[in-house]
Amino acid sequence: MEFRRYNYFIFVVLHTLILMRDVSADKLQDRPLDFRQTPIVPLHEWEMTPGDDASVSSLEHTDTVWTSIDLRDKSLFGGYDGTRIIWLRKAVLLDTLPEDQHLLLSSYYVTCAAEFYWDGTRIGSNGRVGQTADEEQPGRVLSRVRIPLEGIESGDHVLAMRISSHCRPPRIDRIELGLDEAFRKTDLRTNNANVFITAFFITSAMLNIILFFGFNRNVAYLFLFLYCVFHTLKILMLPSWLFLESDVISIQFNERMLYLFVMLGSVSLIAFLIYKFPLPKKIGMLSLAAAISLLCFFTIPERTFFPASVAVTFGISSYAAFKKWDGRWMILFGLIGLSIGSALWYRGMFNFGYFLGIMFFIAAMNIAVGRQIARQSRLHHEAVLRSSRLQTELLKQNIQPHFIMNSLTSIQELIDTDPAKATECIDALAEEFRMFSKICGETLIPLGDELELCKAHLKIMGFRKDACFTIETEGLSGDERIPPGIFHTLIENGLTHGFSKQYHGHFRLQKETASQGIRYILSNDGEVSDNRDIGHKGTGIHYVEARLEESFPGRWTLHSRPVENGWNVTIEISDRPPS
């Protein structure tokens, strides 16, 4: 029962969206318009004729050849050169109006000069229609004309428009006929929607800039912040803020600025995806996307550019899905919502479809980022617990009974044979325990302290095996911050697996500058007799990896491999956060 109920709800929602376009005066033109039932009626289908004969606006005029047009066709005036006057006419069949209401004619985004006629009588204008550019005065983006009460009677009427457009290519987005009270309510809802959308964009922008500075300056968050900022600027410049009626004279500037914000937002979105996913050559890809977008800005209209940019983002996300990269499905889900909302807006079915699509995508991205942060926090917490547990195991390994027993046995033998060396061995053992107690519980320590611990351990093992183990460094200052015990652990592994039959051993620790950070290379000249034992990840290697993940989450790599004269371990730590 519940499932069938939800199916019915989904059906009603989808059916409503599909039929939204049909709720218009064009479907009601064969019967009287009852404004008590439909307070505002959009007027899409008109008749058009060139010429400057005012008589065409009267109900009785039928001599002129008229062409049927639909204002929803954005290429309607594509061939108009601005050198002639054009008349638009529509038949209106009215029912009785409420006595306490007035009838208004509302024109939205009319980028030309227009005069309005009701049954052949001029009732108002938007700007001044002229035969030349000097005579013409463009009107305003939004205009409202009150139809005189004495002209409002039930029956047949003719609504006409006389337009000229010498300064700008003509464009008429929407013409509506309705009650003044209904327009006031619609204006209030529109402004409330604008405030809500603006607040959403600003909040999302603030969230992402906080994430940028709070999470290792991940560049992906910065581009998502810019994406929200550019759309905030776009909606603030829209003429849909009905208490800020913009002059048509400034429409050329506004349209280019709106297009610029769309272009910058699209580049920011592509950049977000480039840095979100582990794509190669990020700077080169971003530069190419910015260059192509800038070229499109000067060569193709916004309505062509925007779908093309969405297609590019779909391509990147589809490639991420093919590669099974993290976050791919949520991003694709957000892009689908963006595409549906934009398509509804482009087809004139939903005025706020474009911005709701943007909001849907940003919400999906915020959810994806939240899930990623929660996952990183969980992994970091697990790494801390694992490193603490392994640190305890490491300390137990170094102070376990057989280590102390073997060390004391070696000291006892040295007391009888070489008291001076016995004293040095005791000092080295005490130094190693002192260093362990010093670094125990620390997250990062100076590399100089780590080297002191390694030297003490090599000295103890040299006394125990009657051998000579040394370590040299290159490129180190000693002030570098590293997790405690990682090189001590790697040296212990080298002694165990590489010097079981050798009595002389040399270790070398060097630091290099990597492309995105620093690189440490620890090498020794031991024998590689059993690759399986050396490649096996025991407690020591697990401790090193856990410590690196705790201190540099997602920004480190560790590679261990045999070389011609021994064994190399390379640790690379990146300065940049993970993608």
Is residue 383 a part of any domain in this protein?
no
Q: Residue-wise over 304-333: b if at least 16 C-beta within 10 A, else e?
A: ebbeebbebbbebbeebeeeebbbbebbbb
Is residue 132 a part of any domain in this protein?
yes
DSSP string over 367-399: HHHHHHHHHHHHHHHHHHHHHHHHHHHHHHHHH
**Which residue range forms the structural domain that includes residue 301?**
215-376
Cα 242 to the center of its chain, rounded Å: 30
Are residues 272 and 142 part of one domain?
A: no
Q: What is the CATH number of the domain that holds 72?
A: 2.60.120.260
Are residues 488 and 444 part of one domain?
A: yes
Q: For 129-148, how does the pLDDT look when each residue is reduced to its tens digit (9 = 90+)?
A: 988 888 888 877 778 888 87
Are residues 425 and 372 part of one domain?
A: no
Q: For 302-352, how does the pLDDT look when each residue is reduced to its tens digit (9 = 90+)?
A: 778 888 888 888 888 888 888 888 777 888 888 888 888 777 776 666 666
The 3-state DSSP class for residue 520 equals strand
Is residue 200 a part of any domain in this protein?
no
Are residues 281 and 232 part of one domain?
A: yes
Token couple for 19: 């039929």
Residue 23's pLDDT is: 36
Is residue 382 a part of any domain in this protein?
no
Give yes or no for residue 261 having a pLDDT over 50.
yes
Residue 132's pLDDT is: 85
Region 504-518 average pLDDT: 87
Are residues 317 and 242 part of one domain?
A: yes
Is residue 337 a part of any domain in this protein?
yes
Residue 579's pLDDT is: 54
Are residues 283 and 319 part of one domain?
A: yes
Is residue 547 a part of any domain in this protein?
yes
Better-predicted residue by pLDDT, 434 or 198: 198
18: part of which helix (H) or strand (E)?
A: helix 2-19
The tally of domains found in the chain comes to 3
Are residues 419 and 371 part of one domain?
A: no
Give yes or no for residue 264 having a pLDDT over 70.
yes
The answer to which of 246-255, 461-470, 514-523, 566-575 has the lowest mean pLDDT is: 246-255
Give yes or no for residue 454 having a pLDDT over 70.
yes
Last residue of a domain, one of 182, 198, 232: 182
Q: Are 275 and 579 in contact (CB under 8 A)?
A: yes
DSSP label of 118: E
Are residues 241 and 173 part of one domain?
A: no
Are residues 167 and 20 part of one domain?
A: yes
Residue 14's pLDDT is: 44
Residue 394's pLDDT is: 55
Is residue 429 a part of any domain in this protein?
yes
Say how far apart CA 207 and CA 428 lie, in whole Å: 53
Say how far apart CA 382 and CA 388 lie, in whole Å: 10
Are residues 407 and 266 part of one domain?
A: no
Q: For 552-561, how does the pLDDT look when each residue is reduced to its tens digit (9 = 90+)?
A: 887 889 988 8
Are residues 221 and 112 part of one domain?
A: no
The answer to which of 64-78, 256-270, 315-329 has the lowest mean pLDDT is: 64-78
Last residue of a domain, one of 141, 161, 182: 182
Last residue of a domain, one of 159, 182, 205: 182
Is residue 395 a part of any domain in this protein?
no
Better-predicted residue by pLDDT, 247 or 359: 359
Give yes or no for residue 461 having a pLDDT over 50.
yes
Are residues 569 and 440 part of one domain?
A: yes
Say how far apart CA 500 and CA 514 lie, in whole Å: 34
Say how far apart CA 370 and CA 365 lie, in whole Å: 8
